[in-house]
Structure 1
């Protein structure tokens, strides 16, 4: 099953939002401080990948 652009962008945005939402709740554990940032990076990367893919498809 492959994700099309729309569902992929929703997934990326939701992952990014989950990372932002959990930032205030991070504890003193190093892993719990890093994971929301990783989630934000992954979510942003997914959204950017689909945006770049759409631009490249439009150019071709």
Structure 2
């Protein structure tokens, strides 16, 4: 379960990233002009989840 900081209403979590992935996230952040790393990571996660959902829907259609 994520921790909710006293100074924020948003839950937080800690993740570890390898340097190559962190560099790619930083590149994305600056290319897309995100305010901070958290915003960039949240955006990438949302895009990844949408993509995964589309892939699952496509698999379901193909198996009919």
Q: TM-score, normalised by structure 1?
A: 0.48
Higher helix share: 1
Q: TM-score, normalised by structure 2?
A: 0.46
Find the structure with the greater CA-based Rg.
2
